[in-house]
Amino acid sequence: MTPLVRSVRSADTLTRDALAVLQPGFTGTTAPDWLLRRLGEGLVSVGLFGRNVADPAQLAALTGRLRAEREELIVAIDEEGGDVTRLEVRGGSSFPGNHALGAVDDTELTRAVARELGRRLADCGINLNWAPSADVNSNPANPVIGVRSFGADPQLVARHTAAYVEGLQSAGVAACTKHFPGHGDTAVDSHHDLPRIAAGLPTLQERELVPFRAAVAAGTRAVMSAHILLPALDAEHPATLSPAALHGLLRAPEAEGGLGFDGLIVTDGMEMQAISATYGIERGSVLALAAGADAICVGGGLADEGIVLRLRDALVRAVREGELPEQRLAEAAARVRALAGRARRTGTGEGAAPAPGIGLTAARRALRVTATGPYRPLAEPVHVAAFTPLANIAVGDETPWGVAVELASLLPGTQTATCTAEAAAAAGTAALVDGLLTAAAGRRLVAVVRDVHRHPWMADALDALLAARPDTAVVEMGVPQAPPQGALHLATHGAARVCAQAAAEALTGRRPSPDD
């Protein structure tokens, strides 16, 4: 009978370890019964997204219910601030993103912003943030990083990454620095396809890895891998599935050219096309664990009990068939549980003094205003032309952006028109601009763009609009790569709500009163 008992115990341990390494999402603003059951069976982590958040009180109640089932629990969220927000997904973030903080280049400010963000997360019961992005924005055509990066200078990105990690973790929330080994030099979004980076290892060491070394030195609790292919490192596997990237580079001692990281390695979402379209999520998850990952993030687009059970069973089967060493799975599960235990002991953000206005302060400091002609502050209702590109998946299309709402609060009666690539293609640039001029009916115009340098249709329409109305003010809410245009050009370095507020203040020369 003894061998049978040992076998049953081994199977139970294996199943619990397989559940422990998963970081799944779910739908709804309350915890589903299946999730509570799986927490009792060994699940240690839960990932939250915008669909799970209504308000801070609801979020705190949700995390409290989860912890009532399992006290030592990792509750993770993708809250970068700026364009990528889950806490304020329907209204826009109270914090500027990385690019704005990099533009200010005050590490104390970055640390303070991250501390306040961490305090708010901790108050809602969240103890792991899939942030900051440590990517060096070396490719201006990058469609997925952009304003999520502190900038294009590796040293600047490094010092702000470290400050962000320190600020966030001082509030009791573990940082998960991403997207290792660097997603900045890509022209492809890994949500849609597998990016390929041609840079050699010397470039990688001198550019992409500099911020990650700073994050490790600052004590980041976790690092998230990227679904990118670097042939100089591994010609066959993307970094998430590459032993050379995870074990040989991220884990390797510094003396051997590695980063010497001994914390939790988390994958980017396994449902992203860069992995799922080639390997499938089950096969991809097995390969990621075998390569050195500890936690499998899944649930951005796949969020039900079925996916959890499929991945659990795939990992168990891989161990039994000898494809995934049992010790590797046990090691990964132990790291997850260790972080869960540490997070519980760290507590909430009670040690971080509230700084409710720090986000707007940072947004105001990040604003860059260039006068290219005579300009009078706006004093009457205006017409806003919002040139709107397709939202990338990381940002999502739920979060509003632009300056129309903020201008309308200062100049009641302000109107807005949305212009898209589809509309420009259907009507033609000239007709699109004529329509804007007609709708403006003589009002002053404010053109709002986002990464105009990446969108030829947007650049053409803006040029035509400025030719017809040189007094137009231009607000760039993406990466300000193109030369300033318009009678007044404002670069906000991001599309967060506070960035829009800072721009509206500059356009009108006034700030709302505290009672507004």
What is the crossing angle of helices 326-346 and 2-20, to 10°?
Answer: 60
Q: 307, 299 in Cβ contact below 8 A?
A: yes
Give the separation between CA 460 and CA 444, rounded to whole angstroms.
20
Give the separation between CA 62 and CA 56, rounded to whole angstroms.
10
Residue 416: which H helix or E strand, with range? strand 415-419
Give the separation between CA 264 and CA 341, rounded to whole angstroms.
13
Round to the nearest angstrom and report the end-to-end CA distance of the chain: 75
Give the separation between CA 504 and CA 405, rounded to whole angstroms.
9
Answer whether the bond into residue 179 is a cis peptide, omega within 30°: yes
| Catalytic residue selected from 99, 191, 227, 455 | 191
Active site includes 105?
no
**Token digits for 472?**
């137009």
- Please report the DSSP string for 420-487 in residue order: -HHHHHHH-HHHHHHHHHHHHTT--EEEEESSGGG-HHHHHHHHHHHHH-TT-EEEE-S---SPP-SS
Active site includes 33?
no
Task: Name, in order, each residue with C-beta under 8 angstroms of 390's C-beta and a sequence gap of 6 or more.
Answer: 421
Answer whether the bond into residue 96 is a cis peptide, omega within 30°: no
CA angle 170, 76, 125 (to 5 degrees): 65
Query: Could you tell me which of 171, 162, 156, 164 has the C-alpha nearest to residue 111?
Result: 164
Integer CA distances (angstroms), 33 to 36, 37, 65, 305, 458, in order? 5, 6, 11, 10, 47
Percentages helix, strand, coil for the chain (3-state, rounded to 5) are: 45, 10, 40
Q: 240, 250 in Cβ contact below 8 A?
A: no
Residue 176: which H helix or E strand, with range? strand 174-180
Longest CA span, the chain: 91
Q: 113, 79 in Cβ contact below 8 A?
A: no
Q: 294, 336 in Cβ contact below 8 A?
A: yes
Q: What single DSSP character describes residue 241? A: G
Q: Is the dihedral of CA 162, 166, 167, 171 positive or negative?
A: positive
| Catalytic residue selected from 17, 189, 234, 268 | 268
Q: Any idea which residues carry the catalytic annotation?
A: 191, 268
